[in-house]
Structure 1
């Protein structure tokens, strides 16, 4: 099998994606726990690439520490440092000392999903000066942010960078292939007046007009140019949507003496797409465990008393891809599950908020005092983590053993820049028994104090 070579410009700072890129290169932002850059390396492997040169900039050591020499990814990776930001064209030009035959280029901060990149090999094996990938789009406004071209057949006659009035529906994307002659054209290129950078589209345009043999490759599948946080959200949504039916879903139910309601909860959540019901027994002395097992729920025990301890046991005891936490008192219902799962396609955590009055059943345990307390604690998190875009109106229940565990979990998610969204869900009257941490004003007050303590502790211990 032929071993090809590639170059990836990955020096972009991603200023429009702050705070996600405050201490991290844009190409190292993750989708499903994997850097964007890694997805593009996987595409290059489909193109029979074995040798990759990655151009890095600020925080580039993070890229080197993650990928090292590439052996773990079945690649040979070399790193080139772009000392000053002089554009993508300049970054590609830095490969001249390392590359002396045709090579691929994929920009490190673009996301491709279910694409046909492998078909590009047919063009690559023929004589060419440059290859450019284009994707047909219905929304021409997207082209204004990238580039397009005048194409006859598959021959590129000229390129237009960020056209104000696109005449074509072809969106130019960040996948290319070049003959080494491109290095001479880059050295002769004039920096753009606007950014004083070497634009690779200007270089390709010059080659197309003077040297010809510039060809178009027509890309299929989904593509996202990641410039803003909203673009990362869209890429995450498209990626997860394409694979959502492969994820397994576990519903975790912490329970302590809930024999009157546990059957209803297990039955209610035993629906598609739930793969597993996990009941975490927290020292129940009634028939909670027997009832849950009779209904084919998986039951594990947590001897250390406390809501937080039970949740930790449940979260650590399952291998589900999607973990749904609900109460054992039937105060939440499975009918909200489809909406929660839909939001999970672009978020890392979805919180069902109980503070929408229209969705609170009459008789449910959510009076004005509890509602005010939830909103107050949520606003404290919002203020103390103002730069993380926290929007909590309902603080529910990691070192925390009790009800404060939920707010601690939210904070840890925020600290690692994971995306959290909250949506209103129905809240119903509990079936039997009483709440273990909010049945009286005194319990509410104690729970609120424990939450406030963990919020302040996490904030003032944090260096983020």
Structure 2
């Protein structure tokens, strides 16, 4: 008998049932360790395989490297034989069989789990040299991933303790330990397969997903003086809202922003992202008008062949379920698009239509003239690296001449049948026009107003006769009534306290300083300013709050004659002067979508975030503070609305600013001088005047 035949005979005798056969992956010194890891791998592998859409390990397997094992082991590997671990003393079982208890069979296949194999990650799109732990089914990768720890760092996809069951140290690339986020084998916690899947999805989402925001468009139909993505909605710009959405819904910590039109404005606005809790990097698309596809290709080098969540920078989502979309990565899809059912064909035509077979996408059409489906696509996508190959293979649109992302997704869906649709909940607005901007603002503010606290600020000086009644009138309609008494000597502060108001006694320069002090100290989400002389009523407050859903600053107007009480001074010269000054402001801000009729009305409501934006511009110490606030809002791009309110005679004393024509003339001159100065400041490009007090 030849030596080779003798070795083969001895090998068969060792592998007989009931005999201790050594696992071909484990060395003689690691037999017990291999048996321990077998149990963990079995539970992990079986739980993953049982879930619909689970990723098979065979899909990750590439061409095998030549193992350091001997010829006999390589021959067994080629034949696909299985051997039992020495500690199990059990015969191999067929695929799909349940493991015996308490010592399961080692189901590791030599041709699949040998050390040094290459594992191809579908999401990374790169062939990564992977070290598979002995019989554990877990991969530690040198692919381009964020790394952790020291040279002996462990793969955190392993069992408890943050290391693989075999204790294999992570390989290092560039001095950093790496791991493969797409390992199909997840640890099975005590809760079973469902908990294992949830833990794996959560870890993969937080660890590996990048964010991409396309913010290079011009958006001339909505705005002309700044990038469209910097339009304010609900206290934040469009691009800020979407960065925050990526951070919170997808656990993204690194966001790539593609800029184009007025790129420096966007860079200056977002900075490095630390203010928003993420790291922001920028890619520049020189010709954003040529389509979204060019923007994606510009960002490709920064995404490093990783999966990424994409949101168009000019869209608004309210009450959406983006968190559920983040879990769809387990489907191993080439792309996932967010869709909504729309009964309005015009809305579908303004976006893109999606044809479905169940939840699989069979076709997409950009801005169809006559949509054949009610399924409308939104600007949220979960994409893999294969989208870049599809973009390069897609010609420009015959209709628009642009390289459309929708056309590339349509090509990918037809070629691979691996593009899925995700039903998006909540409200959605694609901001293309001023009307879209107004609708988005209304949706966001209406939701905020449901939980908002209202603070009423009342500036006073020698108003003891009226302050008690004014506080009592507003106390039932606001969470806070704050009276700011500017050095009154007639007992105004004590009267306000007896009526139930919070009182701050100050010594400031004038009326404007007193209002700012109160707004700075108020605690509400919506801030209301009202006079202490009883000329305005609390019954108009719900009207101001309702219009606050559509504007950042809501200002009352006293020019509606049916609402004015008998005996007011809002007639004749006073009325004409206020209307004339208001029209002058309209002329100075011709491009702003605002209509003004009364610049002197101090009854107004504004959101706290809007006040924070206006605060650096507010310096007026006297009655000029009223039009100054409106001018600052127009400069800052905030929305301003006028609402007719009732105007009643004073209950006591006389007006400090319009008691006679001399007072009225001085007041008008101060107002107009401040308004013109603010407009001249914006024309010169100078920064706003720093406030003299803390914001």
Indicate the TM-score class for this superposition, using the shorter chain for normalisation: over 0.9
- Cα RMSD of the aligned pairs, angstroms, is 1.9
4+ residue segments displaced more than 6 Å: none
Of 292, 306, 316, which residue of structure 1 is paired with 2:510?
Answer: 306
Paired position in structure 1 for 2:313? 108
Contact 2:438 2:550 in 1 (8 A): yes
Paired position in structure 1 for 2:292? 88
Query: Shift of residue 381 of structure 1?
Result: 0.8
The answer to whether the aligner puts 1:423 opposite 2:625 as a matched pair is: no
Query: Shift of residue 390 of structure 1?
Result: 3.6
SS in 1 for 2:331: coil
Contact 1:381 1:390 in 2 (8 A): no
Contact 1:52 1:77 in 2 (8 A): yes
The answer to whether the aligner puts 1:213 opposite 2:433 as a matched pair is: no
Query: Shift of residue 370 of structure 1?
Result: 0.9
Structure having the higher strand fraction is 1
Q: Deviations over 1:331-370 (max 9, x none)?
A: 1111111111111122111000000011111122212111
Determine the C-alpha separation between the residues in 1 that align with 2:667 and 2:472: 30
After TM superposition, the structure 1 stretch with the greater mean CA deviation from structure 2, 71-80 or 114-123, is 71-80
Rate the CA distance shift 1:179–1:372 in 2: closer, same or farther, 3 A.
same
| Structure 1 spans left out of the alignment, 5+ residues | none
Determine the C-alpha separation between the residues in 1 that align with 2:487 and 2:667: 21
Determine the C-alpha separation between the residues in 1 that align with 2:347 and 2:493: 56
Contact 1:302 1:309 in 2 (8 A): no
Contact 1:365 1:430 in 2 (8 A): no
| Structure 2 spans left out of the alignment, 5+ residues | 1-202, 603-617, 686-695
Q: Deviations over 1:110-157 (max 9, x none)?
A: 111111111113322212222111012333321110011121211111
After TM superposition, the structure 1 stretch with the greater mean CA deviation from structure 2, 110-119 or 245-254, is 245-254
Q: Deviations over 1:143-197 (max 9, x none)?
A: 1100111212111111122123333322210011223222122112121234321
Determine the C-alpha separation between the residues in 1 that align with 2:621 and 2:259: 44
Of 389, 402, 408, which residue of structure 1 is paired with 2:593?
Answer: 389
Residues 313-462 of structure 1 aligned to structure 2 (within 5 Å): 313-396=517-600, 398-462=618-682
Paired position in structure 2 for 1:79? 282
Paired position in structure 2 for 1:55? 258
Determine the C-alpha separation between the residues in 1 that align with 2:437 and 2:344: 19
After TM superposition, the structure 1 stretch with the greater mean CA deviation from structure 2, 34-43 or 167-176, is 34-43
Q: Deviations over 1:235-292 (max 9, x none)?
A: 22211222223322111111122222211111111123x1111112123232322110
Q: Larger C-alpha radius of gyration, 1 or 2?
A: 2
After TM superposition, the structure 1 stretch with the greater mean CA deviation from structure 2, 383-392 or 150-159, is 383-392
Larger RCO, structures 1/2 (Cα 8 Å, 6+ apart): 1
SS in 2 for 1:277: strand
Contact 2:254 2:280 in 1 (8 A): yes
After TM superposition, the structure 1 stretch with the greater mean CA deviation from structure 2, 247-256 or 373-382, is 247-256
The answer to whether the aligner puts 1:263 opposite 2:468 as a matched pair is: yes
The answer to whether the aligner puts 1:44 opposite 2:44 as a matched pair is: no
After TM superposition, the structure 1 stretch with the greater mean CA deviation from structure 2, 187-196 or 290-299, is 187-196
Determine the C-alpha separation between the residues in 2 that align with 1:242 and 1:304: 37
Q: Deviations over 1:369-416 (max 9, x none)?
A: 111111011111111121223422001163322211111111111111
The answer to whether the aligner puts 1:154 opposite 2:380 as a matched pair is: no
Contact 2:216 2:258 in 1 (8 A): yes
Determine the C-alpha separation between the residues in 2 that align with 1:104 and 1:256: 57
After TM superposition, the structure 1 stretch with the greater mean CA deviation from structure 2, 411-420 or 361-370, is 361-370
